[in-house]
Amino acid sequence: MPGAKADLLSATFDYHQGNFAQAKHEFTQLAHLGNPDAIYNIAVMYLHGQGVDKNNAQAYAWFNLAADFGLADARDTARLIAKQAESKQPLDDAYTALLKQLSFKWYNEQLRPELNSTPINNASINRAYTVEPKYPEYAYANGLEGWVWLEFDIDESGAVTDITLIDSNPDKTFDKAIINAVKRWQYKASEDELPYYNRSLLYHFTTYKGKQYAQSFKSQQREYNEEITDLIDAAEQGNALVQYYIANWLSSDQYNATRLLKYHWQQDNAADELLLKSASNGYANSQYRIGANLLRGAYGKIEREKGLNWILLAAQNGFAQAQYRLGRELLNKKHLDYAPNKALKWLQAAARQGLFTAKRDLANLLYSLSNIDTETVKKALDTALADDTNHPQLLLLKAKIVAEKDTNTAKKIAKQALDEAKNRNWYLGHITDFITAQP
């Protein structure tokens, strides 16, 4: 499965500029993501000989495939081609051959989420203590709204650890407020559920407060309408980034902009539909989120294979968080796809992009592998410690390495890790166990 780099808008631009070879390449990438418009456009290119040799059999095959993916008009064009053909057999042969490379059946089995289902309610992990983020004064005074997408781990005590900022809008406006709050959150779960990795949060900062903002909304409505119209046009034309942003806005009812966007996207699952469009349009952030949603049962049931397939696409697209998540999932011994050597490669890829959690887990994984020399482990550990010099888990790993030659120094390092874990209100068990076990 190729990793998509273009969206429908850029591919269509290349097409209209006469850059047919590039357009065909981009449409093909998107076709393998289940993008029906890209499939249809490939059919048109074969029909007219644009960037490819004119080939009615291939056009017939691709029009039928587009119809399989929901574009009903494409079936009529395929029938017209068949009606004009001297023999239908070459057309059917081309369609059969195409289905071996790409089919709706394959897409349905490997990627397609069921967006109309009710999310699974994972009641086994509950937030026991919450601190609401403080709305930044400047943003509130100026009516600025936005969202922040975070992922974080939860340790054995239920404490939030190692928060990763994935994306936010507007950039850097609300990041600090939500991170400072989430650091203090506490979770409750059954013993076998913790630690928990990659807890995802899309937090919305909105100023809408009913009547209080009715007047300001009215005065802004004309300006909003102009911007919203442009955004709707961009989304409909296939701009994957805009589709992703609108999906985020539609996921909350509290934005002023959302009230206008919902005039156009009125269905209840519009946010999910647009996120899927963006993912099928090659945008890595959306591909990762679709994959993560499938892994946690956001569309009615947990679908691990589909979830990992979407995350793999995002990882191949160079998205560091997806590379890290893929590595983490392949380290889960509960699943048949457990593969530490594959996990190692993905963690290394994410670590090279500077993702701290990948550096952290890479150092621990290298330490656990019997075929890795100590110097390689130390180098990975030092790289991670450069980002967080007092990280309790990393200091514990350092103590374990040092203990092979110097137990007294190892104890000192472990006690430093213990003090820091206490300071952060993190789980102490692994560190105290190590200290107790030292002679």
Q: What's the maximum distance between 2 C-alpha atoms anywhere in the chain? A: 88
- Nearest 5°: phi and psi at 54? -60, 130
Q: What six digits make up the tokens of 22?
A: 């590039």
Residue 75 reports pLDDT greater than 90: yes
Global pTM exceeds 0.75: yes
Give the other-Cβ count within 10 Å of 371's Cβ: 7
| Count: domains in the chain | 2
> Does residue 414 lie within any of the structural domains?
no
> Does residue 313 lie within any of the structural domains?
no
Q: How confident is the model at residue 370 (pLDDT cuts 50, 70, 90)?
A: confident
* CATH classification of the domain holding 236: 3.30.2420.10
Q: Are residues 86 and 185 in the same domain?
A: no
> Does residue 327 lie within any of the structural domains?
no
Who has greater pLDDT, 120 or 89?
Answer: 89
Q: Are residues 208 and 87 in the same domain?
A: no
The predicted pLDDT at position 145 comes to: 87
% of the chain beyond a pLDDT of 90:
82
The stretch 49-62 carries a mean pLDDT of: 97
Residues, the chain, total? 439
Q: Determine whether 351 is exposed, middle or buried from the number of CB atoms within 10 Å of its CB (0-12, 13-18, 19+).
A: buried
Q: Are residues 92 and 134 in the same domain?
A: no
Looking at 49, 80, 110, the residue that finishes a domain is: 110
pLDDT tens string 180-190: 999 999 999 88
Asked whether the bond before 170 is cis by omega within 30 degrees of 0, the reply is yes
> Does residue 23 lie within any of the structural domains?
yes
The predicted pLDDT at position 69 comes to: 97
> Does residue 438 lie within any of the structural domains?
no
Q: Which of 90-94, 117-121, 225-229 is most confident?
A: 90-94
Residue 93 reports pLDDT greater than 70: yes
Residue 210 reports pLDDT greater than 60: no
d(CA 185, CA 180): 10
> Does residue 139 lie within any of the structural domains?
yes
> Does residue 223 lie within any of the structural domains?
yes
Residue 213 reports pLDDT greater than 90: no
The stretch 47-68 carries a mean pLDDT of: 97
> Does residue 337 lie within any of the structural domains?
no
Looking at 280, 297, 313, the residue that finishes a domain is: 280
Q: Are residues 237 and 172 in the same domain?
A: yes
pLDDT tens string 253-299: 877 778 778 888 988 899 999 999 999 999 999 999 999 999 999 99
Q: Are residues 156 and 34 in the same domain?
A: no
The predicted pLDDT at position 39 comes to: 98
Q: Are residues 162 and 272 in the same domain?
A: yes
Give the other-Cβ count within 10 Å of 389's Cβ: 10
Contacts for 392 with CB less than 8 Å, ≥ 6 apart: 417, 418, 420, 421, 424, 426, 431
The predicted pLDDT at position 216 comes to: 55
- Lowest mean per-residue pLDDT among 180-189, 199-208, 310-319: 199-208
Instruction: Please name which of 358, 434, 352 lies closest in space to residue 401, comparing C-alpha atoms.
Output: 434
The predicted pLDDT at position 1 comes to: 35
The predicted pLDDT at position 259 comes to: 74
Who has greater pLDDT, 123 or 31?
Answer: 31
Domain range for 94 is 8-110
Q: How confident is the model at residue 124 (pLDDT cuts 50, 70, 90)?
A: confident
pLDDT tens string 147-161: 999 999 999 999 999
* CATH classification of the domain holding 16: 1.25.40.10
Q: Are residues 102 and 131 in the same domain?
A: no
The predicted pLDDT at position 143 comes to: 77
* Sequence-distant contacts of 75-79: CB under 8 A, at least 24 apart: 77/43, 77/47
- Whole-number average pLDDT of the chain: 92
